[in-house]
A and B are shown apart, each in its own frame.
Chain A
Amino acid sequence: QKEVEQNSGPLSVPEGAIASLNCTYSDRGSQSFFWYRQYSGKSPELIMSIYSNGDKEDGRFTAQLNKASQYVSLLIRDSQPSDSATYLCAVNYNFGNEKLTFGTGTRLTIIP
């Protein structure tokens, strides 16, 4: 069974610090990787996608992918209280298949 694992948290980070969120996946054939942010009572919102090994930066967010080690991470620099949310990692296992498998999410709290 294809799995996506995340530490459920809660992860508490002081305001202004770097928040580091990690995700591991079971299938080496995985092709596409996504990070979604979900505020309490709201829907998941896509914040980052990454498809090749290495880093991808977008503003304060950096996604890191290491296919050999089967992990993907999300770094949030200069953390703000508005970053407090649950972060969901999602993996697409088949390049010709639209299905995503989601992790259970990591709850992040930024402490002012």
Chain B
Amino acid sequence: DARVTQTPRHKVTEMGQEVTMRCQPILGHNTVFWYRQTMMQGLELLAYFRNRAPLDDSGMPKDRFSAEMPDATLATLKIQPSEPRDSAVYFCASGFWLAGGWNEQFFGPGTRLTVL
């Protein structure tokens, strides 16, 4: 049963610390997405990659957030320095996109981040 995996599942840190979240997409999927979910804002797209190339990071505060995909099996989201307002659940999702195809995305279990 292929699944998206994320680590860590929970992270508590102090303001100003660096946070790194990792995602392993489903093998064979060529698109990877990072979302943030809060009660107030709902599910927001932060960034996404196609074939490991970043296509859109307009949803991300670029002064503190960075997203990379060093290889096909690993995507990372870093926050440096972290702030209390970054407290949220961060989801990674992956999908297989073909030109003219559709866009089903499958979500990982999420990383629940608390910044004190």
Give me the interface of A with B, judged by CB distance under 8 Å.
32, 34, 36, 42-46, 49, 51, 88, 92, 95-96, 98-105
Contact = CB atoms under 8 A, between A and B. Distances in A.
Given A98-B31, A105-B42, A49 B106 contact: no
Contacts of A92: 102-103
B100 A95 contact: yes
B105 A46 contact: yes
Contacts of A100: 45, 103, 105
Contact of A49 (B33, B43, B91, B104): B104
Given A32-B102, A51-B102, A99 B48 contact: yes
A43 B112 CA distance: 11
B2 interface: no
